[in-house]
Amino acid sequence: AQTVTQSQPEMSVQEAETVTLSCTYDTSESDYYLFWYKQPPSRQMILVIRQEAYKQQNATENRFSVNFQKAAKSFSLKISDSQLGDAAMYFCAYRGSGTYKYIFGTGTRLKVLA
Amino acid sequence: KAGVTQTPRYLIKTRGQQVTLSCSPISGHRSVSWYQQTPGQGLQFLFEYFSETQRNKGNFPGRFSGRQFSNSRSEMNVSTLELGDSALYLCASSLGPGAQPQHFGDGTRLSIL
């Protein structure tokens, strides 16, 4: 069975600095998708970034980028130039290519310090 | 385009009762998934429906059930409520396979007294 692990329950970062959130996963599948979701206190989950496992190039969305290491089964999220609005719970998620079932990590709470 | 709509936003029930939660997906989305979110367990997958058929199911007891209608709207039912069922229940819809992400609703906060 697939698993997703986020080993950092909480992280803090100074405004305008860079922070990296860790995520590791375990799977025997070769084709899958990885996602980072953000859940602000208002509680709606918002997609931050996605990565297809068959793509070697790391995904980037403005200030958000990932470091995808397929062999190591690692999928970290880097937030550059952190802003107060980035404060939220961040979830890493896995989905196999042949299923709609998502597996989420337990989340990392990010605090942004002014 | 309207997002995923979940009703009600808040619900208070007592042990032993049953509850029905509703989810309207984004127009055109045929896949609807349900999750239970608790502080200690994170997001736990309940089940996923596509074209009125349950295709995936998580490890929850039979008290948790769902269904999907022909217009893709979905309902989730929990019978014989227990204190441990207190949680935020999230619904998410998806357009299709591949890298299409799930879009989440605001959730229903269920409190069991």
Question: What's the rounded mean pLDDT across residues A37-45?
Answer: 87
Tell me the pLDDT band of B99, cut-offs 50, 70 and 90: low
Q: Which of the pair, A43 or B76, is modelled with greater confidence?
A: B76
Which residues of A fall within a CB distance of 8 Å from B88?
43
Q: What is the DSSP letter of A60?
A: E
DSSP states along chain B:
----EEE-SEEEE-TT--EEEEEEPPTT--EEEEEEEETTTEEEEEEEEETTEEEEE-S--TTEEEEE-TTS-EEEEE-S--GGG-EEEEEEEES-STTPPEEE---EEEEE-
pLDDT digits (tens, 9 = 90+) for A48-64: 999 999 988 999 999 99
**Cβ–Cβ contact B42 with A under 8 A:** yes
Give dist(CA A82, CA A98) in Å, integer: 35
Q: Is the CB of B42 less than 8 angstroms away from the CB of A104?
A: yes
pLDDT of residue B18: 97
pLDDT digits (tens, 9 = 90+) for B23-80: 999 999 989 999 999 987 788 999 999 889 998 889 999 999 999 999 999 999 999 9
pLDDT beyond 70 at A36: yes
What is the structure's pLDDT at A109? 95
A35 CB within 8 Å of a chain B CB: yes
More confident residue, A41 or B61: B61
- Chain center to CA of B69: 14
Q: What's residue A42's pLDDT?
A: 74
Q: What is the pLDDT of residue A5?
A: 95
Task: Say yes or no to pLDDT of A23 above 90.
Answer: yes
pLDDT at B12: 97
- Stretch B5-18: mean pLDDT, rounded? 96
Q: Does the pLDDT of residue A74 top 90, yes or no?
A: yes
B98 in A contact zone (CB under 8 Å): yes
Q: Determine the Cα–Cα distance for residues B24 and B105; give it in Å rounded to an integer.
A: 9
Where residue B98 falls among pLDDT bands split at 50, 70, 90?
low
Nearest-angstrom CA–CA distance, B67 and B52: 7
Give the C-alpha separation, B9 to A78, whole Å. Answer: 33
Percentage with pLDDT > 70 across chain A: 100
